[in-house]
Structure 1
Amino acid sequence: MITLRKSLERGHADHGWLKSFHSFSFAEYFDPAHMGFGPLRVINEDRIAPGTGFGTHGHRDMEIISYVLEGELAHRDSIGNGEVIRPGEVQRMSAGRGIRHSEYNHAEQQTTHFLQIWIQPDELGIDPGYEQKAFSAEEKRGRLRLVASPDAVDGSVKLHADARLYIGLFDAGEQAAVTLDPERLAYVHVARGELSVNGQRLRAGDAAQLQAEAALTLAEGRAAEVLVFDLAR
């Protein structure tokens, strides 16, 4: 079964300095029909205005992934990390028993456009942690590149959750066909462009929830950047 979640159906918040779309219930946006999908709890598409950002704040017991699409995001946290996340880089922050951090767009003119993803961990109260890796466009071109997994295989960042995240770029005749475990869940989020997911057309901000499906086909892309989650039920 495939259920579509269209971009315009998402929650939306405009704080002036921050414009955000929420795929699942978050902050002041609440929809009991969209509380998450398996362990996937949050996908926020955020745009941070130049010279602004999230001040220091705390998290607990969540695997948090940041993926920058445009601009840069400066990160600083309470366990000593201070990094800049650039397009193509995947940051994983394990909040564990508690972490505080800030995220800032220091650019004078460019908006930072990024995805903030929360995944519920398998175990609570772990040591907080941080990891950041770059994945080139060539690695994602016309295929799904594993970027986050519980066993950190193929150079992916390590998740403390039964979930895997793949990212791919598709254009023209490029396509990917993937075998799915029908006992698991799959979630497809189109970050940019458009493409067909099992024959159904999705555009930027759209998503597809797959349950009891044995295969996933991505095709007919037009400047498409897509995230695919393999999730426990």
Structure 2
Amino acid sequence: MKTLYHPAASRGHANHGWLNTHHTFSFANYYDAERMHFGALRVLNDDEVAGGRGFGSHPHDNMEIVSIPLEGDLEHKDNMGNTTVIREGDIQVMSAGSGVVHSEKNKHADRPVKFLQIWLFPNERGVTPRYDQVSMDTRAEVDSWQTVLTSQDDSQPGTVWIHQDARFRIGRFSADSTHTYELSGAGRGVYLFVLEGSAEVDGQALSRRDGLGISDTTTFSVKVGADGARILAMEVPMN
């Protein structure tokens, strides 16, 4: 088993006043040739947007974009006609495909919104842009790896899908427990991102907002720390 450890403090960071953001992989003005992507996972941004502020209309193409709110409400608008709000417990996907323009804004003026912005390389270019969001069953993630995102071929009720053979799972694990993760096929890797709490994998201690890439294995175990843990597992093709 190969592992790639990214402590939270090693991430790129920018504070623009209205936006306080941390970049696990190279993004915007943060560049590290050793941190361009993990397989098909290209961007993992940990964003906090001040009340009433946000990202104005801007274009994307040929990228699968996933947003997971961790606190607060995020308003989304796009040129496909969607005007929606995503909240803690939701997951949103946008297939930029042949081209889309969208904006994102903190719905509230009096408190921040915190969310993960995740980009993946698609397995097909030039697809018709699409948008979707669901409310996750957070009860199902208690001491279990709850699937929240899949490929189109593996889509199921209560999940979103993207144009990539990826699988996202979220688990909220009890203190001092151990949980096995089984990869769904060969040539795949898992990037773990600790949302809260602490854990250990293959002797590597992980704390809040630490990341660990895992590859060249079919299974691994996560030992949860004394304070419990909530972990996002992003399984992607490595080639």
- TM-score between the two structures when normalised by the length of structure 2: 0.93
Q: Contact 2:176–2:228 at 8 Å: present in 1 too?
A: no
1:167 to partner: Cα distance: 1.0
The aligned counterpart of 1:107 is 108
Distance 1:201 1:32 in 2: 25
The aligned counterpart of 1:8 is 9
Correspondences of 1:1-233 after superposition (within 5 Å): 1-150=2-151, 151-180=154-183, 181=185, 183-221=187-225, 222-233=227-238
Name the SS of the counterpart of 1:27 in structure 2: coil
* Cα deviation digits, residues 50-82 of structure 1 (max 9, x gap): 110111111000000000000110111110111
Name the SS of the counterpart of 1:8 in structure 2: helix
Q: CA, structure 1 residues 220+91, in 2 after alignment: closer, same or farther (shift >3 Å)?
A: same
The AA in structure 2 aligned to 1:224 is A
Q: Contact 1:146–1:154 at 8 Å: present in 2 too?
A: no
Name the SS of the counterpart of 1:34 in structure 2: coil
Q: Contact 1:185–1:232 at 8 Å: present in 2 too?
A: yes
Q: Contact 1:66–1:92 at 8 Å: present in 2 too?
A: yes
Q: Contact 1:142–1:175 at 8 Å: present in 2 too?
A: no
Q: Contact 2:136–2:158 at 8 Å: present in 1 too?
A: no
Distance 2:219 2:49 in 1: 36
1:182 to partner: Cα distance: 5.5
Q: Contact 2:100–2:129 at 8 Å: present in 1 too?
A: yes
Identity over aligned residues, as a percent? 39
Distance 1:219 1:208 in 2: 14
* Cα deviation digits, residues 111-130 of structure 1 (max 9, x gap): 11100000000011000000
1:173 to partner: Cα distance: 4.2
* Cα deviation digits, residues 110-155 of structure 1 (max 9, x gap): 1111000000000110000001011132111111111111121353
Distance 2:176 2:229 in 1: 12
Aligned residues: 233
Distance 1:119 1:68 in 2: 17
Deviates more, 1:198-207 or 1:144-153: 198-207
1:168 to partner: Cα distance: 1.1
Distance 2:129 2:160 in 1: 15
Distance 1:183 1:17 in 2: 40
Distance 1:189 1:83 in 2: 26
Deviates more, 1:146-155 or 1:174-183: 174-183
Please list every run of 5 or more consecutive structure 1 residues that lacks an aligned counterpart in the other structure: none
1:213 to partner: Cα distance: 2.0
Deviates more, 1:62-71 or 1:172-181: 172-181
- TM-score between the two structures when normalised by the length of structure 1: 0.95
Distance 1:174 1:37 in 2: 27
Q: Contact 1:182–1:211 at 8 Å: present in 2 too?
A: no
Name the SS of the counterpart of 1:80 in structure 2: coil
